[in-house]
Structure 1
Amino acid sequence: MDRRKFFKYGSLAAAGTAILSPIDVFGKEIDYVNKGGTAKNIIMLISDGMSTGTLNMADLYLNRIHGKSSTWMSLYKENKVSRALMDTASASSIVTDSAAASSAFGGGIRVKNGSLNISPNGKENLPIWQKFKQKGKKAGCVTTVPITHATPAGFCVYNDSRNAQSEIAEEYLKQGFDVLMGGGDQYFNSQKRKDRKNIYEEYEKKGYKVVKSRGQLMNSPNDKPLLGVFDHDGLPFTIDRNSSKELENKIPTLAEMTQKAIDCMKTHPKGFVLQVEGGKVDWAAHANDIAGLIHDQIAFDEALKVAMDFAEKDGNTLVIVTTDHGNANPGVIYGKNANENFESLQQYSHTNEYLLNQIHPDSSEKQIKELVEQENGFSLNSEEIKLIKSYYSGLVKEDGLYNYKNLPFKTFSEIQKNHNSIGWISMDHSADYVELAMFGPGSENLKPFIKNTDIHYFMLEAAGIENKF
């Protein structure tokens, strides 16, 4: 790739591109001169499934409850970053899933929903973290969902299916990624894998330090490759973790994982690349779970602060912060009690997932009423209690992407809306253009409106790496 040519498939700056099919090639190569320095390191942070309303509500919550702005919004207010909107479509739909979205970043090509870096014509696209590894940089990923989940995987491997997480766990080892942290014990543990392979042991044989708790992580060396797996599937939601001393002691925060990943790679002479994902933001949006959503967005924001603190001191690090797609499009709804209703969220002590799992078919109406009062601070009326109870007797079922127990997430969020003024449009991904911000070397070249695949070439260009792979 000619370094004076930027974005292999073009910027979306050209007029009329928004009406093209998502499988069309957008624009042509344009002349580009790198007006900034070269980024030695790149940290890309993705709040998975973050609609604009999620970013807004986390900032509102921090302002109204804690008297401060979020790190992300402070970057805007202080004019520290370049900012853009990004189109997130996949090759098969204007509404992407996380696998195709991550593959757009990771492989630079739009793929069909559900696949990882496999073009619609079957071509395997080399993921960007492998490209950087080939150029001598260290590479890592940290997340609050399984480390083998779609978003980390899209930067690291290719596979026909995002669901091949056991295979992805092994592929990471073959590629020799330097830092991997998140959940997903079921894909590494010989007692849980169908093939009974002990993947942890295989990592240890290759020199990795394997850690399975917050304490082990904090005491692990910085001079060895690191695999940290801290739960069976995704990590607990932040608000549930913060309500349990046991979970606080066992599960590291996303900010702590981010700091550890930086510490493990920052002294490498050729630099590093790091992906940080707030994956449970997406899971909370799928469940219309406002406490899960806001507190995991705040946890993501704390990880962003870690990245920014390092980048501002280092001076050679490009920070990219964005989301892969919107989800459920939540927001505060107009009304005379909107302020006090929104502020009532501080009374929520757990997620709806936790709360609704406390209800059973034999729970009495009195028990359900007391549970909601304890967890959310408001009282249900008799009809609301009966409606919720009906879901536990097999009369009604409510679907959702991660709702394997058919819990009444949507119904309960509609009841909560009367008390917290939060509305949702769905329980699934949306086609919104999303927020994108950059800080550091190369960030000044960000255009106001781009396509998700452009990020791939932007990172290569910022690092001074020609796309000859």
Structure 2
Amino acid sequence: MDRRKFFKNGSLLTIGAAVMNPFQGSANILDLESVNKNKKAKNIILLVSDGMSTGTLNMTDLFLNRKTGKGSNWIQLYKDNRVSRALMDTASASSIVTDSSAASSSWGGGFRVNNGVLNVSPQGEPHLPIWQKFKKSGKMAGCVTTVPITHATPAGFCVNSKSRNAQDDIAEQYLDLGFDVMMGGGSNYFSPELRKDKKDMFAAFKAKGYQVVKTRSDMEAASNAQPILGVFAEDGLPYYVDRNSDENLQKTIPSLAEMAQKAIDRMKGHKNGFVLQIESGKVDWAAHGNDIAGLINDQIEFDEAVKIAIDFAEKDKETLVIITTDHGNANPGIIYGKDANDNFDSIQKYTQTNEWILNQIKPQSSVSQVKEIIEKANGHSVSDEDAKTVLSYYDGLHKEDGLYNYKKLPYKAFAEMQGKINSVGWISMDHSADYVELAMFGPGSELLKPFVKNTDLHYLMLQAAEVENKF
């Protein structure tokens, strides 16, 4: 079958030719195109670093280069000219600045929807999510994430909902739809002790034949012959740097790469192939908190999952790997100064997130105790004046709002203090309207144009897999 004519009657005639490094010779372009031309993508792995501004990608590559001498797997794919690359417009139907539900729905349903909504048009029309389309075509389908599995990004590929906050209902939809692997956090929406309606969704999944796993060892021991529901935390999983600083968390909580590998192992033998979404959801949460240790280390965790996907696709030869983000957030970057190198390198000593630090501080903490907590986590302390400023938030003298900041912790104030030492600046604590990075590897990657709308990705995946948009 000529894949370039496959959708000749569809809404997408072609997504175009490969985008290559303009400084590389044309032979490289022809080589990559000839490798993938007219090949069908039996499997699709889509990796999403949620809320990843370009500065986050850049800083993580610099951080790894300066710490280990080797940069990120994502940027190395660019350096080696092994992927097609584009910029993507991330707008929603209601705003040039999207939220994660509308962003995921643009990929999942193929249409832009209002912020806060999952695959329901502004007129109330439901759009069938792409993982359901692939299930109907005979493929296995799954999602793994570091936030609740019922959160906006995985849900956008799987369900219809007028509200992204209806996570109890989203858990029930997952049960009805029968996806093959769903792993992340979110026992708040599955446990009878934590759900408002007291339904035991864990029991319901078990009754339907799922293996329900709640620890890393349980996940590793799970059979690849049955569907898997993995829920490893009440809400989001611990930040990667906090997990890696705690032996117990390392033993009990799987990394994103480990979940990704398990999901691939579960589905790779299926005769009709599989589709898998891999999300680093807490890159977004760290950006909302201007939390540099959380941000860089969760991006590193994401990058380890990129390697898992690329390694599999290299051997498999039938897998399209898509690497991207849904929107920017906080737009962090390294600020110019004579000590910028050394200042940025100081982050290598950070062993805990700002979230961990600020939760250790209590209203009754002394100035010396605050300084000691910070020094333990960051490898350096702050001035008495800065410690007093931090404490003032715990006495109710000041307040900070913000998404995922339910305890009113002084994230912004503390990040500004750190910035004087680590040379990292932030423009905000919220999403931005950036055009974002999009990279593709494997069959179907040659279809990518230099600039796309987020909705184009829906149709590209269908075209690459030769699945008609008829459902």
Same fold (TM over 0.5): yes
What pairs with 1:292-371 in structure 2 (closer than 5 Å)?
292-371=294-373
Tell me by how many angstroms 1:315 deviates.
0.1
Deviation sequence 1:239-264 (CA, Å, 0-9, x none)? 00000001001100000000000000
Amino acid at match of 2:397: L
Instruction: Name the CA distance, whole Å, in 1 between partners of 2:9 and 2:345.
Output: 50
Tell me by how many angstroms 1:382 deviates.
2.3
Deviation sequence 1:34-90 (CA, Å, 0-9, x none)? 943110000000000000000011111110001111110010000000000000000
Specify the SS of the correspondent of 1:91.
coil
Instruction: Name the CA distance, whole Å, in 1 between partners of 2:445 and 2:170.
Output: 32
Tell me by how many angstroms 1:385 deviates.
1.4
Does residue 3 (structure 1) correspond to residue 7 (structure 2)? The answer is yes
Deviation sequence 1:1-45 (CA, Å, 0-9, x none)? 9612575499799xxxxxxxxxxxxxxxxxxxx943110000000
Instruction: Name the CA distance, whole Å, in 2 between partners of 1:39 and 1:379.
Output: 52
What pairs with 1:252-267 in structure 2 (closer than 5 Å)?
252-267=254-269
* Pick aligned residue for 2:129 from 127, 130, 136: 127
What pairs with 1:76-225 in structure 2 (closer than 5 Å)?
76-225=78-227
Q: 1:272 to 1:198 in 2, by over 3 A?
A: same
Amino acid at match of 2:343: N
1:6–1:461 contact (8 Å) kept in structure 2: no
Instruction: Name the CA distance, whole Å, in 2 between partners of 1:366 and 1:139.
Output: 52
Tell me by how many angstroms 1:374 deviates.
1.6
1:9–1:454 contact (8 Å) kept in structure 2: no
Question: Which runs of 4 or more aligned residues in structure 1 lie more than 3 Å from their structure 2 counterparts after TM superposition?
Answer: 5-13
Instruction: Name the CA distance, whole Å, in 1 between partners of 2:113 and 2:13.
Output: 14
Instruction: Name the CA distance, whole Å, in 2 between partners of 1:202 and 1:330.
Output: 43
Instruction: Name the CA distance, whole Å, in 1 between partners of 2:16 and 2:411.
Output: 38
What pairs with 1:1-80 in structure 2 (closer than 5 Å)?
3-4=7-8, 8=12, 35-80=37-82
1:7–1:454 contact (8 Å) kept in structure 2: no
Partner of 1:30: none
Instruction: Name the CA distance, whole Å, in 2 between partners of 1:204 and 1:447.
Output: 44
Q: 1:95 to 1:305 in 2, by over 3 A?
A: same
Amino acid at match of 2:313: A
Does residue 444 (structure 1) correspond to residue 446 (structure 2)? The answer is yes
Instruction: Name the CA distance, whole Å, in 1 between partners of 2:347 and 2:162.
Output: 41
1:390–1:396 contact (8 Å) kept in structure 2: yes
* TM-score normalised to structure 1 length: 0.94
Amino acid at match of 1:324: D
Unpaired segments ≥5 residues, structure 2: 18-35
Unpaired segments ≥5 residues, structure 1: 14-33
Q: What is the aligned length? A: 449
Instruction: Name the CA distance, whole Å, in 1 between partners of 2:321 and 2:9.
Output: 22
Specify the SS of the correspondent of 1:391.
helix
2:16–2:448 contact (8 Å) kept in structure 1: no
Instruction: Name the CA distance, whole Å, in 2 between partners of 1:11 and 1:408.
Output: 45
Instruction: Name the CA distance, whole Å, in 1 between partners of 2:320 and 2:40.
Output: 9
Amino acid at match of 2:452: I
Specify the SS of the correspondent of 2:51.
coil
Amino acid at match of 1:302: E
Instruction: Name the CA distance, whole Å, in 2 between partners of 1:404 and 1:196.
Output: 24
Specify the SS of the correspondent of 2:394.
coil
* Pick aligned residue for 2:414 from 412, 418, 422: 412
Structure 1 vs Structure 2: percent identity of aligned residues?
A: 66
CA RMSD of aligned residues (A): 1.5
Amino acid at match of 1:211: V
Specify the SS of the correspondent of 1:343.
helix
Deviation sequence 1:130-164 (CA, Å, 0-9, x none)? 00000000000000000000000000000000000
Instruction: Name the CA distance, whole Å, in 2 between partners of 1:418 and 1:109.
Output: 43
Partner of 1:401: 403
Higher mean displacement: 171-180 or 381-390: 381-390
Instruction: Name the CA distance, whole Å, in 2 between partners of 1:11 and 1:432.
Output: 21
Instruction: Name the CA distance, whole Å, in 1 between partners of 2:10 and 2:300.
Output: 34
Instruction: Name the CA distance, whole Å, in 1 between partners of 2:10 and 2:68.
Output: 43
* Pick aligned residue for 1:288 from 287, 290, 294: 290
Instruction: Name the CA distance, whole Å, in 2 between partners of 1:52 and 1:163.
Output: 28
Partner of 2:423: 421
Deviation sequence 1:99-127 (CA, Å, 0-9, x none)? 00000000000000000000011100000
1:12–1:450 contact (8 Å) kept in structure 2: no
